[in-house]
Structure 1
Amino acid sequence: MARVVVVGAGLGGLAAAARLGALGHRVTVLEQADGVGGKLGWFERDGHAFDTGPSLVTLPQVLRDLFDATGGPLEDAVDLVRLDPAVAYRFADGTRLAVPGHLDDVPGALDGALGDGAGGQWRALLDRAEAMWAITEQPFLRSPLRGAATLARLARDPSDVGTVAPWQTLRGLGARHLRDPRLRVLLDRYATYSGSDPRRAPAVLATVPWVEQAFGSWYVRGGLHRLAEAVADRARERGADVRTGTPVRRVLSDGGRVSGVELAEGGEITADVVVSGADATALYAGLLPPNRRTRAVRRGLTRATPSLSGFVLLLALRGRTPGLAHHTVAFPADYDAEFDAVFGTGRHRGVPCPVPDPTVYVSAPDDPTTRPDDDSESWFVLVNAPRHDPDAGVDWDAPGLADRYAGRVLEVMAARGLDVRDRVRWCVARTPADLARETGAVGGSIYGTSSNGARAAFLRPGNAAPVRGLYLVGGSSHPGGGLPLVTLSAEIVAGLVGPA
């Protein structure tokens, strides 16, 4: 039985704690915040309540595997609801598209909204994405990252290499398969699921819409924060000691192997294994003293492009919106201008800035637990944003910036048919700087590093650190961000540590 310390009670850390506890290890979880969940946050005020992070579950089988491996079915712990429609889109030309919650229904909906032939184009793209998924799921997403060895597994069959097309971007794949420009915009959006730019992100990200539509989009009744609480409960049931309000100052090592952690409040906890759910950049730059063993990982992090962040409005609204979907996405006329502003490229080269005309994402669950009465709504509004970088980018703490930009986002919403300005009871703005402070994500980068560039996946830190006994979970490590991949990172680490 190993003594395990898990740094961070985000979903990755909690899932690792539950799995390692089920394997017979003695586990202690240390979380700096006063509650569990990390980016699976929750905000309540005056009866209005909001998920402040992820707002849907995809690939629920990964969560079912976690709960089955640690003591009981997922459905006994949370109430999953399949969304139909999965999302409602509003395009710049006025076209509206409600994407059904079941894959077989999607082509017909596309034909109806965009014209005959649109469904066939999308279906052909998803057929390619399904083939990509079959090739990459096991050797890449469910296995440790092992550099050239991982590439070798993917390259055993030349036809597989041609299917995955590691040299091709997501934008390039869309240009090849999709004639309708609105479909190309729809595909581009999925690059943002890994905090990336579709013009640089790999074509294999087409697996994201395939997974979403093949396995469904799901909501946890009562809010997705309940998922984090359920995993924390499962970890405790397996013997884990989950301590909140307990920040870690340093990961300790001796002779090239971890020996425990030093607490910010003083004192040390001895450990045979340390699992870090902290942002990988924060781990290698601060929690872990630099040494020659970690030099290559730190170099890779400096070469990678940080992921985008997000600017959020929590809107407490009077009244109800007829026909409002659970998720609504309203696109701008110039999507490329958004990515230029976020990443400081193109017309904004070297000078990232808040997006003047952003894509607007609205999550508005029809869930009584999120509103004070039936004549109210609680909207989580997200727009893509550059990370907090006062020295070389945007200083989101600059006086007045958050309020000014909140007003701009409300104006954009109004122009896209989502004018709620006369219904607002109150509004809370949350910037990338707030995200950085609350979760430890450097600069508020939601996914750590982006998928920009063909080598981006191999610049992402692996789950086994160069220091023996140290492992990484969460969205900033392999295999990446998003609830399914974060949960898989914990499965990979549990396999690396092994049973007691």
Structure 2
Amino acid sequence: MSRVIVVGAGLAGLSAACYLTGQGHDVTVIERDTGIGGRAGALRLEGFTFDTGPTVLTMPELIDDTLQAAGSRLSQRINLKRLDPAYRARFADGSVIDARADPTDMINEILDTCGAADAASYEAFVDWLTRLYRLELPHFIDTNYNAGFDLLRSPAALARLTFLGAFGRLGPAIRRRFGDPRLHRLLSFQALYVGLSPERALALYAVITYMDTVAGVWFPEGGMHAVPRALADAFTDAGGTLLLDQPVTGLITDRNGRVAGVRTDEGQFMADAVVCTLDPAAAYRLMIPDVRPPRTVRSGRYAPSAVVWHVGVRGLPGDQVRHHNIHFGRDWNSAFTAMIRHGELMPNPSRLVSVPSLDDPSLAPPGCSTLYVLEPVPHLGGSVDWVREAAPMRQRLLQFLADGGYPTEIVTEKLVTPLDWHRQGLSHGTPFSLAHTFTQTGPFRPPNRIRRRPGLYFAGSGTVPGVGVPMVLLSGKLAAERVGRYLGSRPPAGPARNRSERPASSGWLR
């Protein structure tokens, strides 16, 4: 039985751990914090429970696949509810469109709000999204790359994607299909998940729209933190070891440069392979300071960040509020230009408000509500001084909640800015890592293996396949596949030597 260490108990690390345990390895997950989940953590304040990271869950079958690898099932671990609507979209003119779970219901919603022509287009749009997804997932997402030429290893799938317009731009692809500008926004805002404006994102990222509008949005009882809890429980029930509050301080290698374990403040942990889930810049600095990071890590284009305001309030929202509420600003393209191109706050921002206590009242005290308010903002490479801007931002968000009909008698709160994301070790203060430009996608994204350090693998949003809960779960699976192939052909290791004593350069983390 080979020994494998996973650094980090977030979604990527726990996914890798479940798959590695299923392969029959002796797996230990080492986490620097006192709890599991990483960015998908939980914050508990005065009887309120807040999800600290993602709030939108799609593709639950990927969670089931991960749990099955560790001998469990989703149905045994998490109670899921499909949200209908997945989102309520509220526009500056006061109109509302619900993103309905059932395609027939969505056609009727579009018919009532946007007209017959756009309603007639929706069925063909769903077909287009579905074909994109079925081509992309097995051939270009759930796959390990060794070089850029690997894009050509499925030429038939690549040709079909080209025929479907996947390498055009998302914004124009949506406008060709629908006439109502409100649908343009509702069906393309997902480009923000990959760090781009809809006008710049490739149409292939419509697969995220597929996940939202076709596959559906789900809510786990207890909040999103129920997902890492389920993965951790399945992992330990299958015999894995989970160590908390033990920061890894360096990598141990043998005389041939192969991985032999890690160091922590508690001592050395020997292993035949290591999966590291840190942000790529931090991973290179900590684990392999003598290896030059790839260009995308050194000088890549990072996605915008977000301000997240966790607010526990007295009172319940009115009937106009749903679980997920997207408030679209009046200006659209100019808002993206300001934030992404100029590094400035959106002049007329769009915001997300999630109210998970609507579907799980246990997340708030009786008669109270748990609110998660998110506004996209520039990363730390922009021009915003967050020491000065945090208080005005809070006041604007408070007024926005009052204007939107949300309860605003605050019991407890926590405001998270890009400075806080940076303190968590995230480059440029963004939880969305590297933007998914074409040159930072697929084989051009930071790789999940390091040829100069055999036995070291990466998982998480900074490597393949990318950002978002489904992609991060797959990143753990892909790293585990790498480890399995490596350990199946690994030559005997030489005596270990500790490279972690070499001082780490901080130059890669800007």
Partner of 1:407: 395
Larger mean CA deviation between 312-321 and 247-256 belongs to 247-256
Is 65-74 or 145-154 further displaced after alignment? Answer: 145-154
Instruction: Indicate the residue corresponding to 2:352 in structure 1.
Output: 361
Contact 1:403 1:429 in 2 (8 A): no
Which residue of 2 is the match for residue 445 of structure 1?
430
2:300 is aligned to: 304
Q: 1:281: how far off?
A: 2.2
Structure 1 stretch displaced more, 92-101 or 163-172: 163-172
Q: How does 1:233-244 map to 2 (within 5 A)?
A: 233-244=233-244
Contact 1:308 1:384 in 2 (8 A): yes
- Give runs of aligned pairs for residues 71-470 of structure 1, distance below 5 A: 71-156=71-156, 159-165=159-165, 167-254=167-254, 255-263=256-264, 265=265, 267-291=267-291, 295=292, 298-323=294-319, 324-343=321-340, 345=341, 348=342, 352-365=343-356, 366=358, 367-373=360-366, 375-389=367-381, 393-396=383-386, 398=387, 400-415=388-403, 417-418=404-405, 420-421=407-408, 423-438=409-424, 440-453=425-438, 456-466=441-451, 467-470=453-456
Q: Work out whether residues 11 and 473 of structure 2, in 8 Å CA contact, stay in contact via their aligned partners in 1.
A: yes
Query: Aligned equivalents of 1:472 and 1:76: distance in 2?
Result: 29
State whether residues 317 and 407 of structure 2, in contact with CA within 8 Å, keep that contact through their aligned partners in structure 1. no
Instruction: For 1:405 and 1:268, locate their aligned partners in 2 and report how far apart those are by CA, in whole Å.
Output: 45
CA distance in 2, matches of 1:341, 1:145: 35
State the Cα distance separating 1:123 from its structure 2 match: 3.2
Range moving further from structure 2, 457-466 or 31-40: 457-466
The CA deviation at 1:450 is 0.9
Cα distance in 1 between the residues matched to 2:221 and 2:2: 36
Is the CA contact (8 Å cut-off) linking 1:4 and 1:28 kept in structure 2?
yes
Over residues 70-98 of structure 1, what are the superposed CA-to-partner deviations in whole Å (9 max), with x where a residue is unaligned? 11211111111111111100012221011
Question: Which residue of structure 2 aligns with residue 475 of structure 1?
Answer: 461
CA, structure 1 residues 171+36, in 2 after alignment: closer, same or farther (shift >3 Å)?
same
TM-score by length of 2: 0.89
- 1:96-131 deviation per Cα after TM superposition (whole angstroms, max 9, x unaligned): 011112233212111212222222333333322222
Aligned-pair CA distance for 1:221: 0.5
CA apart distance, 1:336: 2.2
Distance 1:240 1:322, change over 3 A: same
Amino acid at match of 1:59: M
Say which SS state the counterpart of residue 116 (structure 2) adopts: coil
Instruction: Determine if contact 1:29/1:241 at 8 Å carries over to the other structure.
Output: yes
Shift in Å at residue 287 of structure 1?
Answer: 2.9
Q: Which amino acid aligns with 1:96?
A: V
Between the aligned partners of 1:53 and 1:158, the Cα distance in structure 2 is 34
SS, match of residue 156 in structure 1? helix
Structure 1 runs not aligned, ≥5 long: none
Mean Cα deviation higher: 189-198 or 246-255: 246-255
Aligned length: 481
Q: What do residues 292-313 of structure 1 show as CA deviations (whole Å, max 9, x unaligned)?
A: xxx4x52132343112211011
Q: Gaps (5+ residues) in structure 2? A: 489-510
* Alpha-carbon distance in 1 for matches of 2:229, 2:333: 38
Task: Tell me which amino acid in the other structure corresponds to 2:75.
Answer: E
Percent of residue pairs identical: 31
Distance 1:434 1:245 in 2: 20
RMSD: 2.1
CA contact (8 A) 2:135 2:161 kept: no
What secondary structure sits across from 2:65 in the alignment? helix
- 1:273 offset after TM fit, Å? 0.5
- Within a 5 Å distance, the mapping from 1:3-14 to structure 2 comes to 3-14=3-14
SS at match of 1:317: strand
Displacement of 1:413 in angstroms is: 3.9
Read off the aligned partner of 1:372 and give its amino acid letter: P
Preserved contact between residue 89 and residue 325 of structure 2 (Cα < 8 Å): yes
